[in-house]
Structure 1
Amino acid sequence: MSDRHLQLAIFRLNDMCVGIQEDMDGYLPTASLEKMPGAEATFAWLHRRGVRICLLSDFDRERTLLLLGRLNWTVEEDGTVQAIITDQNKKDNPVRMAQENACLQNPRFSFAAFDTPRLLRLANEARVHFNLAVCNGRHSYNELAVAPHHAMLDSLVQLPNFLLEHLPEAEAGQFTHPAAGRRLLPKLRLPRPLSRR
């Protein structure tokens, strides 16, 4: 995988990447936090492959930065994540906003992994390449199953294997167009057609 295939990964911070002690959203300085299994390892794996990471936060900027500071996650080019969108629930389409902020030439250079039906619908509207439902948030499997998605994952731990299985090899996947005589990349494969129940 290289930036020729995917350039931006978009995740939801709340519930999917970090769990916050129930009913403690208003007490972020002292609330118990739980990093979701595989989140940091997945971020590092993507970063090594040149994929930028954007987190969508339910909180305002001040509370989001407080939360990230408590997790020891940085927001900078060589940080844990490269961008954040705060107050995502108040935005028309925070997925499209993340794509625009990353200056993507094509929305297909991005993928999204979300745990809410709303964000899965918005990712579908934003034409991400992979729209993945992750079942470790507050929404049930059945709620996510009826939202548009390409595949369902139990947690972020499964994401690297999913991408390796569905993305072409960097060099082996290249071929020469007979008429043009130039090297082309194969189209990215989808695990199955988009689910639209």
Structure 2
Amino acid sequence: MNSQKIIGIIWRGFPNTIELLIFSFIFATLLGLLLTWVGLRKNRLAQGIATVYLNLVRGTPPLLMLLLAYYGLPVLLKAIGINIDHWTRLMFGILGLSLGWSGYLAEAFRSAYLSVDTGQIEAARSVGMKDQTTFRQIILPQAAMLALPNIENLVVGLVKATSLVYVIGLYDMYNQASNLSNQTAGLHQLQIFILLALSYWGLVLVIEVLFRLIRRRYQWLA
């Protein structure tokens, strides 16, 4: 079996892999920002809820998070009258990865925010700037740049984590490669998985280039 044919079969799963990556990152980012906001509030109850959630999510393996989302969530929601049996495997995959990565992103956002010199807030107030304007125009851009290296590492980790959706039967690149290996009785197993590794590596290289461009574009904020 030639390499071109193997790559063609593996890349049949690329659309699901890229959808998992993009939508999981978007939802994890939104949830991570919400958790950061809740955790930084001067409210013990809010901080406690955020802390418990973060500890639970970060202490749960991504594989288990996917299984809980796929098998556990429908049962839990049915108990309160909500039926999500019509959800696709892709939706459950996105949910499981989003929940898992939201905790890591929340910590990246929180540490970046706390690293910004708070004296800038007082300086902005002294010249009449509103707190909301100060946060949006001064604090947030700096925090975003400080968080960027950690975010890049988490996105790369998310690329690799997308391969875990095989446990819920979703056909991504890994699942395509695994099935092809089984169909050929393992005769081309090494070749198949080397090409799969190169495919993931190529995707990671694209991500690294994108983050490098972002850093160059906004390096004046650092």
TM-score by length of 1: 0.27
Which structure's residues are more often strand, by fraction? Answer: 1
TM-score by length of 2: 0.25
Which structure's residues are more often helix, by fraction? Answer: 2
Higher relative contact order (CA 8 A, sep 6+): 2
